[in-house]
Structure 1
Amino acid sequence: MDITALPLYQNFNDINKVDPSYYSRYDIKRGLRNADGTGVVVGVTNISNVHGYLMSDEDKVPDRGRLSYRGYDINDLVSAAVEEDRYGFEEVAYLLLSGNLPTTDELAQFQRAIDDYRDLPDGFTANYVMRPPTRDLMNAMSRAVLTLYAFDEQAEDRSPKHEVETAIMLMSRLPRIMVLGYHAMRDKFYGDSMIIHHFTEGEKTAQTILSMMRPDRKYTELEARVLDIMLMIHAEHGGGNNSTFTCRTLTSADTDPYSAYAGAIGSLKGARHGGANNRVLGMVADIKDHVANITDEGQVADYLNKIMDKDGYDRTGLVYGMGHAVYTLSDPRAVICHKYAKDLVKNTAYEDDFRLLEIIEALTPQLMAERGRKKAICANVDLYSGTVYATLGIPEPMLTPIFASARIAGWAAHRFEEIVSGRRIMRPAYKKTGASRDYVPMSDR
């Protein structure tokens, strides 16, 4: 059926445009943001704190970025895992779900529960991951989560027991679904071999991802530990980020956990949210195409100015990986990512790329200040994460899915809190504009 003659999309922008003057006239908080960029407070949470500025006499004062999970500083959580020579993501996930750090026995039991759920239902891989394969793994993961609803006889149960078990099950299975979906995509669209590795019992999430992803199943301890740190810093980031707020909004409507988590995955897919790390990799590739020496600050500065002039990369004027809605002087996740990635990239093909990112982080605030920007700007976690994953040999289509595999822990914690403490459906208001119109009979149109 040809619908090109119908005025359904030719005037798409005109039909859907709202006069921007209404936003200031009615003091609309676009994006739930105040005029100074701070978020509109819509709830309270005990789960985490994202700190990036201070308020003094109603002025926003830049401050060093801090991130805490259940009151524990993320730097302390990561440092303890590194110093004690152990993996930390499962400990962080337990902390987010339970509210407390686990004992040795509690952590071991939690790991066993994760192992017990790794296996997918009979026929799930063949019928729901491989058929039909999709070019986007985030869509594949969202679809798989919704499909798992059909395998749960108590899917509509809102009891604490079912909620916790569902969260652990998805935390266990999402990494496996991600890897299987990737290999199915490569097989279908690129002619690669379909690889299906069984998981190894007792392996941590970071080990499981690398082991199932690689044809030879081999990985170094450094690679697994760095990936584990990435999972830790991506596990949670407050209730106001778009995907977590999506999860809480869906939960407030009293929908099932599968629908809430699938919606959160859909949100995280967005290029303005979790998909931003892919934009950084694209920008780095573009800079390498246009700058003779990417470790020369002068040459990089010249091209960054072209990017800001909308004469380079994607012509948006944005330097991807720089700036954040909350953080001003520093993003603690970016600081951690930079710290532990240094050894990983040493003597690899990505060493110069990493140096380029350091130059971008140092120069961008200066160049923006020269252009009159007064607000503080810092590197965000996306600046370094893409290159870290590339160094680990993780393909670009898996970058945001790995983010989702970690963030399911934070989403679950916020869903639990919304169930117990929210108890009211999210229902913000929209101001109607435009005049009323009288109905026109069909014969007079």
Structure 2
Amino acid sequence: MNQELEKSFVQTMADHLAESNAMDSSLYSKYDVKRGLRDSNGAGVVVGLTRIGDVQGYEVNEKKEKVAVDGKLFYRGIDVEDIVNSCLSDDRFGYEETSYLLLFGTLPNKQQLEDFKKVVGLKRELPLGFARDMILTAPSKNVMNKLARSVLALYSYDENPDDVSIENVLRQSINLIGYFPSLIAYGYQAKRSYYDNQSLHIHYPDPKLSTAENILRLMRPMGEYTDIEAKLLDISMILHAEHGGGNNSSFTTHVVSSTATDTYSAIAAAVGSLKGPKHGGANVEVLEMMADIKANVKDITNYKEVENYLIKILKGEANDGSGLIYGLGHAVYTVSDPRATLLKKMAKKLAEDKDLLDDFMLYDFIEHRAPILFMESKGTSKPMPANVDLYSGFVYNALNIPTDIATPIFACSRLSGWCAHRIEELVAAGKIMRPAYKCVQPHLEYTPLSKR
């Protein structure tokens, strides 16, 4: 009876909320409200200054019109393409070097890099009892929620959690960078065991291994991986490590850090932001869409058949009914997403190594044909370049990375950027963020309860 009352009450009041919170769209233009913190031309409203990351997807001419250009991404002023190409030419892992660059603002020399790796390596293993008490005994259906809870729980294991001095926040940041592979892997293993009735595989992290190697080692039942698998995951993590201060999760880090709260609260908030399907969760939508295509297209090398199914997706007759082809388009990039371009090169090598060229060419076909189909179907000329989610989806599939931890790995990658933005906010800003909302609710007379 109580459950029926609750259900009825919630259903009734949900309808009321939908009505009472509805907003006349004309009011946004009337009061010049920057919806989504974006100007009328789609560009983000400038709310701060940063030295950490720069995203370039277009130029603005003298008429204040957007001019499409090839996308560029810079970390501390350095083109991410140069970072990736250096790692590829030297055949080495680069995520740790990227983390150092983002945190400290300069590229490390060999000794500095080795020292940083050792310091991070010392924090690969979680605090004593943490995995058992905080992860395995309280599994979550969603690993991102478990990750956020685990980050918050680390507050209780820190002897000096609330100190926002730069030295202390840097210590906490390095600790989190070390801990994250284990937090993700153990959260995933707990979920598999409790909710999926799968065997529980728990491995100890290896402090001598890179972040990418530790993720694969901790995730897989036997802890095995090949060098090309780990190197490709490493490249993917470099490309996801930072994307300017305006992306939702990095901005969340700035907003929450501006209150002078603790590091664990700020990073947990960023994890919550990244979980959203409109942000980091978009990579999961690519994985699910590709699985749907392969399940419904008999021959993925028959591109006419693939095209017909893409048209059904655009009409809302297939996949999730949204009418969207995921992995295409970006809020900033207009001609190309440099992350997708770089990741695609490595993805092809992995496809050749794993005999997955047919799969790779399916992604390639979608990249080139789907934007045309989108424009024909929607009657728009909006550019739809492949974004990083498309080829990270291929990489995760090729590496047998479960959908459950696609976004958590994104979080592990972006953690260095978040920590850098937190430190920047504490050092340079010093003022709590408090944007304004225009209230458009007319003032009303209070009606006594007896007269309602």
Q: TM-score, normalised by structure 2?
A: 0.96
Instruction: From 28, 45, 49, give the equivalent of 2:33.
Output: 28
3-state SS, counterpart of residue 222 of structure 2: coil
3-state SS, counterpart of residue 6 of structure 2: coil
Instruction: From 397, 406, 421, give the equivalent of 2:413.
Output: 406
Range 395-404 or range 361-370, more displaced: 361-370
2:449 aligned residue? 442
Instruction: From 394, 401, 404, give the equivalent of 2:401.
Output: 394
Q: Any conservation in 1 of the 2:287–2:397 contact (CA below 8 Å)?
A: no
1:14 aligns with 2:19: yes
State the alpha-carbon separation in 2 of the partners of residues 229 and 5 from structure 1: 51
Cα deviation for residue 286 of structure 1 reads 2.0
Instruction: From 131, 149, 157, give the equivalent of 1:143.
Output: 149
3-state SS, counterpart of residue 11 of structure 1: helix
2:6 aligned residue? 3
Counterpart amino acid of 2:88? V
Instruction: From 284, 302, 307, give the equivalent of 1:278.
Output: 284
Counterpart amino acid of 1:427? R
State the alpha-carbon separation in 2 of the partners of residues 5 and 189 from structure 1: 29
2:422 aligned residue? 415
1:224 aligned residue? 230
1:315-362 Cα deviation digits (max 9, x unpaired) = 222110000000010001101111001111226464322211111110
Counterpart amino acid of 1:239? G
State the alpha-carbon separation in 2 of the partners of residues 321 and 5 from structure 1: 39
1:154 aligns with 2:160: yes
1:153-184 Cα deviation digits (max 9, x unpaired) = 21111111111110010001011110011111
Instruction: From 38, 46, 49, give the equivalent of 2:43.
Output: 38
Q: Any conservation in 2 of the 1:62–1:376 contact (CA below 8 Å)?
A: no
2:295 aligned residue? 289
1:364-406 Cα deviation digits (max 9, x unpaired) = 2222333532222200000111221121121110100001111
Q: Any conservation in 2 of the 1:333–1:380 contact (CA below 8 Å)?
A: yes
3-state SS, counterpart of residue 182 of structure 1: helix
2:77 aligned residue? 71
State the alpha-carbon separation in 2 of the partners of residues 5 and 283 from structure 1: 35
Counterpart amino acid of 1:178? I
State the alpha-carbon separation in 1 of the partners of residues 368 and 87 from structure 2: 29
Instruction: From 211, 219, 226, give the equivalent of 2:217.
Output: 211
State the alpha-carbon separation in 1 of the partners of residues 424 and 353 from structure 2: 45
1:424 aligned residue? 431
Instruction: From 320, 324, 336, give the equivalent of 1:318.
Output: 324
Cα deviation for residue 9 of structure 1 reads 2.0
1:193 aligned residue? 199
3-state SS, counterpart of residue 420 of structure 2: helix
3-state SS, counterpart of residue 314 of structure 1: coil
Identical counterparts, % of pairs: 45
Cα deviation for residue 304 of structure 1 reads 1.9
1:253-303 Cα deviation digits (max 9, x unpaired) = 111111000000000000001110111111112222333332233222222
Counterpart amino acid of 1:381? V
State the alpha-carbon separation in 1 of the partners of residues 297 and 125 from structure 2: 48
Range 173-182 or range 358-367, more displaced: 358-367
Cα deviation for residue 249 of structure 1 reads 0.4
2:310 aligned residue? 304
3-state SS, counterpart of residue 321 of structure 1: coil
Correspondences of 1:363-382 after superposition (within 5 Å) = 363-371=369-377, 372-382=379-389
Q: Any conservation in 1 of the 2:181–2:218 contact (CA below 8 Å)?
A: no
Cα deviation for residue 91 of structure 1 reads 0.2
Q: Any conservation in 1 of the 2:287–2:393 contact (CA below 8 Å)?
A: yes
Q: List gaps (5 residues or longer) in structure 2.
A: none
Counterpart amino acid of 2:28? Y
3-state SS, counterpart of residue 67 of structure 2: strand
2:60 aligned residue? 55
Counterpart amino acid of 1:434? Q
3-state SS, counterpart of residue 192 of structure 2: helix
State the alpha-carbon separation in 2 of the partners of residues 122 and 412 from structure 1: 24
Cα deviation for residue 413 of structure 1 reads 0.6
Correspondences of 1:67-106 after superposition (within 5 Å) = 67-106=73-112
Q: Any conservation in 2 of the 1:295–1:359 contact (CA below 8 Å)?
A: no
3-state SS, counterpart of residue 423 of structure 2: helix
1:384 aligned residue? 391
State the alpha-carbon separation in 2 of the partners of residues 207 and 301 from structure 1: 37
Q: TM-score, normalised by structure 1?
A: 0.97
Counterpart amino acid of 2:123? Y
Count of residues in Structure 1 that have an aligned counterpart in Structure 2: 445
1:217-257 Cα deviation digits (max 9, x unpaired) = 21111011001101100110100000000010001111111
Q: List gaps (5 residues or longer) in structure 1.
A: none
